[in-house]
Amino acid sequence: MNDISKPILIIEDEPGLLEAVRLKLTKEGFPVLGCTTAEEAEELMAKTEPSLLWLDLFLPGIPGIEFLQKLRADEKWKKLPVIVVSNSGSPEKIRQSRELGVETYFVKADWKLEEIIDVVRTILSSNKK
């Protein structure tokens, strides 16, 4: 089973997509926390430790990559599993994400929601061990 206390934190600026992901993850039995901006995420993370970060890169305010850089600079979050779920296929972004220790980089248009969630499940179960 999953650790209920540690939710998956979703940072996605499109509310519709955020809803869909939250719905599905909840259905699958995962605790979910969602927000639409990096700033909100910071606030949430000050209060709760997430088990995984589901990060969109195109965010209003602080962009995803920058947020990630800040995150990794913090000792506390150095080892936090992060998946990037973005619409950008830019090699530059992919490279940067890889450098910042991202588990997987998903281009939204190419993946079914279920498939991404499968990968999430794998990551979390392997982490638990």
Which chain residues interact with other proteins by CB under 8 A? 14, 16-17, 20-21, 23-24, 27, 87, 89-92, 107-110, 112-114
Decide whether 113 or 124 has the Cβ nearer to other proteins. Answer: 113
Decide whether 59 or 71 has the Cβ nearer to other proteins. Answer: 59
Q: How far is the CB of 102 from other proteins (least distance, A)?
A: 17
Q: How far is the CB of 86 from other proteins (least distance, A)?
A: 10
Answer yes or no: are the C-beta atoms of 69 and 100 closer than 8 Å: yes
Q: How far is the CB of 93 from other proteins (least distance, A)?
A: 10
Decide whether 76 or 112 has the Cβ nearer to other proteins. Answer: 112
The H-or-E segment that residue 73 falls in is: helix 64-73
Burial 63-99 (b: 16+ CB within 10 A, else e): ebbebbeebbeeeebeebbbbbbbebeeeebbebbee
Q: How far is the CB of 31 from other proteins (least distance, A)?
A: 17
The Cβ of residue 35 has, within 10 Å, a number of other Cβ atoms equal to 19
d(CA 126, CA 8): 15
